[in-house]
């Protein structure tokens, strides 16, 4: 089993543990009103179709042999992160994500930490020369890199929204 396969297994296990640990209580405590639920439903739809479109593009690029530098696993992870980012940014923009008004600062701090940790992880792997294996980007380098980029975009959206919300409240 390759290093990337172990990494992917670890990622899956981590997600399952996080879902089990945070899932029930965290999701139950969130209260979105009817307008926010409608916005989130639209966001899920946009994220879903973004993923579908990107998958179709990827299929074409792999068939044309244009993506030699990335593995299929990396490409799929990229599609996942892009669609999650699209959903998150849409919901943040329409004020239906993570209670922006209520606890925006806490989530900004959390996301900044995620960006920092993943950024450091990918930088370390790059310095150690673990970014490429057999001429392809490794999942162990690509995964934290994709997380860094995705959470950076979401963090930027959160910051912009928090500043705008503060200005509106002041008015």
* Contacts with another protein, residue ranges (CB under 8 A): 33-36, 95, 101
Distance CA 110, CA 130 (A): 27
Tell me whether residue 34 or residue 63 sits nearer to another protein (CB atom).
Answer: 34
Minimum separation from the CB atom of position 27 to another protein (A):
18
Cα dihedral 128, 133, 139, 141 in deg (nearest 10): 20
Minimum separation from the CB atom of position 84 to another protein (A):
23
Minimum separation from the CB atom of position 34 to another protein (A):
6
Minimum separation from the CB atom of position 109 to another protein (A):
22
Tell me whether residue 93 or residue 136 sits nearer to another protein (CB atom).
Answer: 93
Cα dihedral 73, 76, 78, 83 in deg (nearest 10): -160
Minimum separation from the CB atom of position 82 to another protein (A):
26
- Ramachandran sector of residue 104 (left: φ over 0; alpha: ψ -120 to 50; beta: rest): alpha
Tell me whether residue 65 or residue 168 sits nearer to another protein (CB atom).
Answer: 168
Tell me whether residue 39 or residue 137 sits nearer to another protein (CB atom).
Answer: 39
Tell me whether residue 64 or residue 170 sits nearer to another protein (CB atom).
Answer: 170
Closest CA to 91 of 46, 27, 43: 43
Distance CA 112, CA 105 (A): 10
Torsions phi, psi for 133 (to 5 deg) = -140, 120
What single DSSP character describes residue 97?
S
């Amino acid at each position: 089993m390759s290093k990337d396969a172990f990494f992917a297994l670890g990622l899956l296990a981590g997600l399952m543990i996080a879902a089990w640990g945070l899932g029930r209580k965290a999701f139950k405590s969130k209260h979105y009103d009817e307008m926010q639920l409608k916005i989130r439903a639209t966001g899920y739809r946009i994220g879903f179709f973004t993923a579908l479109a990107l998958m179709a593009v990827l299929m074409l690029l792999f068939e044309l042999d244009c993506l030699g530098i990335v593995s299929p696993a990396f490409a799929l992870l990229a599609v996942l992160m892009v669609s999650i980012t699209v959903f998150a940014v849409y919901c943040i923009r329409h004020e239906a994500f993570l209670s922006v008004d209520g606890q925006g600062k806490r989530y900004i701090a959390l996301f900044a930490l995620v960006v920092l940790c993943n950024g450091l992880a990918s930088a370390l792997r790059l310095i150690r020369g673990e970014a490429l294996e057999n001429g392809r980007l490794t999942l162990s380098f690509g995964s934290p890199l994709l997380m860094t980029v995705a959470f950076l975009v979401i963090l930027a959206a959160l910051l912009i929204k928090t500043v705008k919300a503060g200005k509106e409240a002041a008015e």
